[in-house]
Amino acid sequence: MTQTDSNSDEKAFRLEKDSMGEVRVPVEALYGAQTQRAVENFAVSGLRLPPAFIDAVALIKRTAAEVNRDLGLLDEPIADAVVQAADRILAGEYSDQFPVDVFQTGSGTSTNMNVNEVIAALAEQAGGKDVSPNDHVNMSQSSNDTIPTAVHVSAALAIHNQLKSSLSHLAEVIEQRARELAGAVKTGRTHLMDAMPVRVDQELSGWAAQIRFGLERIEATLPRLYRIAQGGTAVGTGINAHPEFSRRFADRLGEVTQLPFKPNDSFFESLSCQDTAVELSGQLKTLACGLMKIANDLRWMNSGPLAGLGEIELPALQPGSSIMPGKVNPVIPEAVCMVAAQVIGNDAAITVAGQSGNFQLNVMLPVVAYNLLQSIEILANAARVLADKAVAGFQIKSDNLEAPLAKNPILVTALNPVVGYLKAAEIAKRAYREGRPIIEVAAEETDLPRDELARLLDPGHLTEGGIGQS
């Protein structure tokens, strides 16, 4: 840091130097020249990498300082000051000191140096010694292994701390509602057309399975997410890092996070591609498709209340129209569908970014990090909102389930083994044409006793599968 300056708009600056020369940096900024250059160069979107990602980079700096200290590479007072500075960032302080746009250098070097500079400034304040962003905070590291590691670490922590519990909660709420509604039978639908009956609990069991399978798919990706790039440094060879650094780093990171991180068997893979992030994003997209299916089922079932299906009534959360009094809309399922659309779009961006690994480095790392973490966060929040504000509180409208069920001509399917497909089709067409219950028409068209027809055509019995004839 050198002299303080002031310009005509009365904002104070200081002059900082880096390898390219002097840069004017706001006096109140903890960051230095390289961050300021990035702020000026990448005035693109106003979007910032999320706090979870900055925290992951700070955690990497903290862990590296401890390992370098233990290896005798970094003086203990400086290492301790770096650790304390990183802890302050991890505690949520100084969030305004990370202004670099998402759309920056593809390696994420600007964000890496931003964190390095802020930690160095805080460490100097605490320890009273000169602390270099490059020589001390970035010791044994490169942006090229730090940012890929931060992608994996931040995503793994977000999955464990947010997504897993939200998905489990949603599945449990669906399963609880299924138990509560086990006696309700409704018209099944295929192609949005009337089909054989199903119980409401059977329908909900499909939803719950979608969520639980989605979580299983995500968990299946975790072993590869735990493999980290740290120690590969610039191109995967580990230049300027101690031979034991990568192993010790992963062990220490695992102790802090309680997650089984380990050095990747090939740092060349870690640096040159983002295949694991692409894989994880694909699983998140699959989950998004499942959430959209469930949300749309709820919207259809809630439609009406008079001119739609009207099978259920979702909780009334807010007025639905600025002009039509009394209108209430399915706002939670709609919000969930929009989340799903965003996640599907994020996956497309991550897919494009994932194929941007040229030789030894992927050069779209920041956009991978941003979209991956956004997908995890909004899916976790949407799952919890869907559980608590839609699934937990909807009410069955029994009359609207029972009336169309009694007249459903597809019930005649149960008579196929007894009277044959063609005769059953004839009965169904007549019942539909005359608007009469199947049992009445079947009694006229067949010799089957009324009580036998009642047994064969009982909607609840038909939800059990098998052949109707005893």
Q: Which DSSP string do the residues of 286-349 spell out, in sequence order?
A: HHHHHHHHHHHHHHHHH--SSSS---EE----S---SSSTT----HHHHHHHHHHHHHHHHHHH
Q: So what's the pLDDT on residue 470?
A: 36
For residue 180, give the nearest of 382, 388, 393, 330 by alpha carbon.
393
Alpha helices in 355-420 (DSSP H): 365-386, 398-406, 416-419
Q: So what's the pLDDT on residue 128?
A: 78
Q: What is the β-pairing status of strands 227-228 and 193-199?
A: unpaired
Could you give the CA distance from residue 123 to residue 125 in angstroms, rounded to a whole number? 5
Q: So what's the pLDDT on residue 4?
A: 52
Token pair listed for 432: 């539909």
Dihedral (C-alpha) 188, 190, 194, 198: value to the nearest 10 degrees?
-10
For the chain, list residues with pLDDT below 70: 1-10, 466-470
Q: So what's the pLDDT on residue 153?
A: 99
Q: So what's the pLDDT on residue 108?
A: 98
Catalytic residue among 45, 95, 266, 321: 321
Could you give the CA distance from residue 286 to residue 351 in angstroms, rounded to a whole number? 14
Decide if 218 contacts 159 (C-beta within 8 A).
yes
Beta pairing partners, 312: 396
Would the CA dihedral through 156, 159, 161, 165 be positive or negative? negative
Q: So what's the pLDDT on residue 407?
A: 84
Sequence letter at residue 247: R
Could you give the CA distance from residue 223 to residue 459 in angstroms, rounded to a whole number? 46
Q: How many CA atoms lie within 13 A of 294 on its CB side?
A: 30
Q: So what's the pLDDT on residue 224?
A: 98
> Is 321 among the residues known to form the active site?
yes
Catalytic residue among 191, 281, 303, 398: 191
Decide if 45 contacts 83 (C-beta within 8 A).
no
Beta pairing partners, 195: 188
Q: So what's the pLDDT on residue 443?
A: 95
Q: So what's the pLDDT on residue 314?
A: 97
Token pair listed for 444: 């006229």
Inter-axis angle of helices 143-158 and 275-302, nearest 10: 30
> Is 191 among the residues known to form the active site?
yes
End-to-end Cα separation, the chain, in angstroms? 91
Q: So what's the pLDDT on residue 450?
A: 95
The DSSP H or E segment spanning 14 is strand 12-18
